[in-house]
Amino acid sequence: MLQVISLLVENKPGALMRITGVLSARGYNIESLTVARTLDPGLSRMTIVVDVDPNLRQQVVKQMNKLVNVLQASDLTDSPAVCREMVLLRVRATLESRTAILKEAEIFGARVVDSSPEGFALEATGHSEKLEEFIDVMRSYGDIDVTRSGSVAVSLEPRKLRLQPPVPTKAEAAKVG
């Protein structure tokens, strides 16, 4: 079963490698991964979807929480959360199919982001399964090119963030103490 892990991480070189290393060291293949800055430019939010052995799910999240660059790692798989993905799709559209494609796009809530005599570029967001249906439908109109963003998730319950306050260096502590 796919696991959704949400991480708040320091925006530092090597942070991504450390996090994916927890998974690759255990032989897990990442289904999708997204990362972007948060309101605080020093921090990034990462969403990872990965197929982890059920009895190792907790262990993987604990190991991620141990990483110095990870402020918080949470398993959103079974907790209240919204999970969405975006797809950008280019479909070849002949003159006679253009109207039908636009109708289908409307059904899926997709937007036209580019239009040319050759076809359309469409943008859709939603659940991954819904997007797969959309891609299947579009494929029936001919050759398509698809780029998916991977899932992004947000927890619907507040999560307490425990941060370590600054500590004095050894020499400084010796001076004070």
Partner 1 sequence: MPNMMSGARMLLECLVREGVDCFFGYPGGVTLPLYDAVYEHPIRHVLVRHEQNACFAAEGYARATGRVGVCCATSGPGATNLVTGLVNALMDSVPVVAITGQVASKLIGSDAFQEADTFGITRSCTKHNFLVKNLPDLPQVIHEAFYIASTGRPGPVLVDIPKDVFQGQAHYAPVSAIHLPGYKVFTEGHTGQIRRAAQMIAEAQRPFVYAGGGIIAANASAELRELVELIDAPAVCTLMGLGALPGNHPNFISMPGMHGSYAANMGMTHCDLLIALGVRFDDRVTGRLAAFAPHAKVIHVDIDPAEIGKNRNPDLPIVGDARRVLAKLNRMLREMDSAARNTQSEARQHWWRQVRAWQSQHPLAPVSSDSEIKPQHVMAEIDRISGGQAIVTSDVGQHQMWAAQLIRFHEPRLWLSSGGLGSMGFGLPSAIGAQFARPDKLVFAVVGDGGFQMSIPELATVGSNGLPVKIIVVNNGYLGMVRQWQELFYNNRLSAVTLDCFPDAAKLAAAYGFTGRTIERPEELAPALKEAVDEPGPYLLNIRVSPFENVYPMVPAGAAVNEMVLAPPQPVPVPK
What residues make contact with partner 1 under the rule CB under 8 A? 9-10, 13-14, 17-18, 21, 25, 58-59, 62-63, 65-71, 162-164, 166-172
Q: Which is nearer to partner 1, 8 or 135 (CB)?
A: 8
Closer residue to partner 1 in complex, CB, 109/168: 168
Distance (Å, rounded) from C-alpha 77 to C-alpha 142? 35
Q: In angstroms, give the least distance from the CB of 170 to partner 1.
A: 6
**What are the beta bridge partners of residue 6?**
47, 74
- Pair 136, 91: CB distance under 8 Å: no
Judged by beta carbon, residue 21 or residue 150, the one nearer partner 1 is 21
The minimum distance between CB 100 and partner 1, in angstroms, equals: 50
Q: Residues near 9 by Cβ (< 8 Å), separated by ≥ 6?
A: 15, 16, 19, 35, 43, 44, 45, 46, 69, 70, 71
The distance of closest approach from Cβ of residue 168 to partner 1 in the complex, given in angstroms and rounded to an integer, is 6
Nearer to partner 1, 1 or 163 (CB): 163
- Which DSSP helix (H) or strand (E) runs through 118? none
- Asked whether the beta carbons of 50 and 153 are under 8 A apart, the reply is no
Least distance to partner 1, CB of residue 60, Å: 9
Q: Is 95 or 174 the residue whose CB approaches partner 1 more closely?
A: 174
Taking the complex as a whole, the smallest distance from the CB of residue 38 to partner 1 amounts, in Å, to 13
DSSP assignment of 42-102, as one string?
Answer: TEEEEEEEEE--GGGHHHHHHHHHHSTTEEEEEE-TTSSEEEEEEEEEEEE--TTTHHHHH
Judged by CB, which is closer to partner 1: 33, or 86?
33
Closest distance to partner 1 from the beta carbon of 86 (Å)? 28
The β-bridge relationship of strands 111-116 and 119-126 is antiparallel
